Amino acid sequence: ATSHVSVYRTSTGHVSVYRTSTGHVSVYRTSTDHVSVYRRSTAHVSVYRRSTAHMSVYRTSTGHVSVYRTSTNHVSVYRRSTAHVSVYRRSTAHVSVYRRSTAHVSVYRRSTAHMSVYLRSTDHVSVYHRSIYRISVSQSVYRRSTDHVSVYRTSTGHMSVYRTSTGHVSVYRTSTNHVSVYRRSTAHVSVYRRSTDHVSVYRRSTDHVSVYRRSTAHMSVYRRSTGHVSVYRRSTDHVSVYRRSIAHVSVYRRSTAHVSVFRRSTAHVSVYRRSTAHVSVYRRSTAHVSVYRRSTAHVSVYRRSTEHVSVYRRSTDHVSVYHRSICLPQVHRPRVRLP
């Protein structure tokens, strides 16, 4: 030994020890048949190692950085930290884990043979992703959110889902092997769609308008309504129907392969038509006039009436009849039958 250095050594058949120190550095080593240890330290750095047949440990630290490692036959661990960053890793034969964090960002990962997970978050954004892998089933989940936006996704072998929302808009989608659904909504508009192998549905509504559609292989339906107008349509392989109404007018149509019907009505007029392969009918009425017609292949009938006049006609292949009558107030006249 001198005034600045000190050394110590000893050894037996199974143990060996070594120490040395100076004004700035201190070192220690020891080893046996099964364990080996090493330490070294200065004013700014400290190092430690320990190893056996099945495990190894390492530590080092300075004024700004600290590191730790350990490993066995089955597990490996790593840690590192500074004033601003922290890192962690752990792995086995089946699982792997990773973490990293700073003042503003945090990250996490975990993975196995069948599953993977990922998380990331900052002061303004958060992300999550999860996926599963198996021979018969696979699944994936994803989430992301910020101060203004949120997103979510998940999918399997048979289904997929998506959601996103902001301060003003919300969207949702899901689909399977047989069904697909979509929704979107804002402060003023809402939209919905759904479709399967056999049916399709659509809805849209705003502050002033509402629309609906539904269709299958054999049928189609449509509706639209506003503050003033309402429209309806329906059609199948055999029947077609139409309705329209506003504040003062109403219209109706229905038609099949054999029959056609029409109606229209307002505050002052009402009209009706019906026709088949053999018969045609017409009616029209107002506050003062009423008209009726009916015709077939062999017969035709006509009526018209007002407050003062009434007319009737009927004709067939062999006979024709005409009748007209007038009725005036406070006037007495005999009925006149025209030939």
| Cα–Cα distance, 97 to 68 (Å, whole number) | 16
Cβ count within 10 A of residue 147: 9
* Res 11: pLDDT: 84
| Cα–Cα distance, 19 to 100 (Å, whole number) | 37
- The separation between CA 322 and the C-alpha centre of its own chain, rounded to angstroms, equals 70
Backbone angles phi, psi at 249, to 5 degrees: -130, 135
C-alpha R_g of the chain: 46
pLDDT band for position 285 (50/70/90)? very high
* Res 337: pLDDT: 64
pLDDT tens digits for range 106-161? 999 999 988 999 999 999 999 999 988 776 667 889 999 988 899 999 988 788 99
* Res 139: pLDDT: 82
pLDDT band for position 286 (50/70/90)? very high
* Res 150: pLDDT: 93
Give the end-to-end CA distance of the chain in Å, rounded to a whole number.
157
Q: Give the pLDDT mean for 170-185.
A: 95
| Cα–Cα distance, 83 to 11 (Å, whole number) | 42
Question: 252-273 b/e with 16+ CB inside 10 Å = b?
Answer: bbbbeeeeebbbbbeeeeebbb
User: Nearest 10 degrees: CA dihedral of 109, 110, 115, 119?
Assistant: -30
Residue 3 confidence (pLDDT) above 60: no
